[in-house]
Amino acid sequence: MKSFLKRVVPQSIWQPASRWYWWWFNRGRHQFHWMLSPQRGKNIRKLEQFRNCHQGKRCFIIGNGPSLKRTDLSFLKDEITFGLNRIYLLFDELDFRTTYFVAINTLVIEQCSKEIRRLTLPKFITWRGREWLSGDPGVLFLDTDYTPPATFSKDVTTRVFEGSTVTYVALQLAFFMGFQEVILIGVDHSFSAEGPPNMTVVSEGDDSDHFASNYFGEGFRWQLPDLEASEVAYRVAKEAFESEGRRVLDATIGGKLTVFPKADYYSVIRK
């Protein structure tokens, strides 16, 4: 049907109609529901409690790369930390939990909603995940979006651009909370899986691109990364932090990301 319509409908009509449809599917319908939802006001008030709540401090954003297996995370017990997506798979090995949890990918939220519900820490979740996590008292919904324009939100009670990676959303949360210094670890920025960016695939075996082989294990549906798009977003984040005299450091062991200044994890942790 789609190919038939493209043949018979003039391009002058097809292209704007197609753009409008995908905007509505990816953004418009969720924003419309968000604006009308009775949860919106309560949720914004909950988010406001985090505005500048850690002003002047430092935090660690923990990615999910295999480099975490070579990183002694015990040093982070008394630090403020953001955990992303399936970071909780590490919790049984640690004697602490991350301070905050962030997830924006609907495939992750859909398939892991029961596990996420069991987490007893503040959980920042995309509004698109409301179908699976509505009613969870620990959830704070974010109006996240992956359609243009590509911005860095200093106020997460408004639209938050996703930047093709949950790490970018965590950076915006860290800015909103007032952190002076943000240190990235486990952000390897390197994947062995190949294919078009953002394409949904089904894992056929053990996962070598994350810290645990069952992270996206056999049968798990996930989307291939868009490393170029995430680099563009990271550069926007770098500029936003530095424009206000703050900074982001990358202390990932062996990480391939080159946007942020590099730092030695063990030197940083001992400061």
Give per-residue pLDDT as tens, 64-113. 999 999 999 999 999 999 999 999 999 999 989 999 999 999 999 999 99
What distances in angstroms separate CA 114 from CA 92, 93, 117, 128, 218, one per listed residue?
A: 17, 20, 5, 16, 18
- Helix H or strand E encompassing 111: helix 106-117
Phi and psi, residue 137, nearest 5°: -65, -15
Query: Per the domain annotation, does 196 fall within a domain?
Result: yes
Phi and psi, residue 27, nearest 5°: -130, -50
Give per-residue pLDDT as tens, 144-187. 988 888 999 999 999 999 999 999 999 999 999 999 999 999 99
pLDDT bin (cut points 50, 70, 90) of residue 194 is confident
Helix axis angle, 166-176 to 227-242, nearest 10°: 10
Q: Are 197 and 228 in contact (CB under 8 A)?
A: yes
Query: Per the domain annotation, does 13 fall within a domain?
Result: no
| C-alpha closest to that of 125 among 153, 102, 147 | 102
Specify the pLDDT at position 9. 53
| C-alpha closest to that of 71 among 170, 207, 81, 167 | 81
Whether pLDDT at 267 is above 60: yes
Whether pLDDT at 5 is above 60: no
CA distance 128 to 149: 18
Q: Are 68 and 186 in contact (CB under 8 A)?
A: yes
Q: Domain of residue 58: give its range.
A: 40-269
Whether pLDDT at 21 is above 60: no
Whether pLDDT at 19 is above 80: no
Query: Per the domain annotation, does 246 fall within a domain?
Result: yes
Query: Per the domain annotation, does 19 fall within a domain?
Result: no
Number of domains the chain is built from: 1
Helix axis angle, 29-36 to 39-48, nearest 10°: 90
Query: Per the domain annotation, does 121 fall within a domain?
Result: yes
Any idea which residue has 């920025």 for tokens?
189
pLDDT bin (cut points 50, 70, 90) of residue 14 is very low
Query: Per the domain annotation, does 216 fall within a domain?
Result: yes
Range 14-34 burial, b when 16+ CB lie within 10 A, else e:
eeeeeeeeeeeeebeebeeeb
Percent of the chain with pLDDT over 70: 86
Q: Are 161 and 144 in contact (CB under 8 A)?
A: yes
> Which tokens hold the place of 116?
């996420």
What distances in angstroms separate CA 151 from CA 154, 170, 196, 221, 237, one per listed residue?
A: 9, 14, 24, 28, 9
Query: Per the domain annotation, does 30 fall within a domain?
Result: no
Q: Are 140 and 124 in contact (CB under 8 A)?
A: yes
Query: Per the domain annotation, does 33 fall within a domain?
Result: no
Q: Are 155 and 48 in contact (CB under 8 A)?
A: no
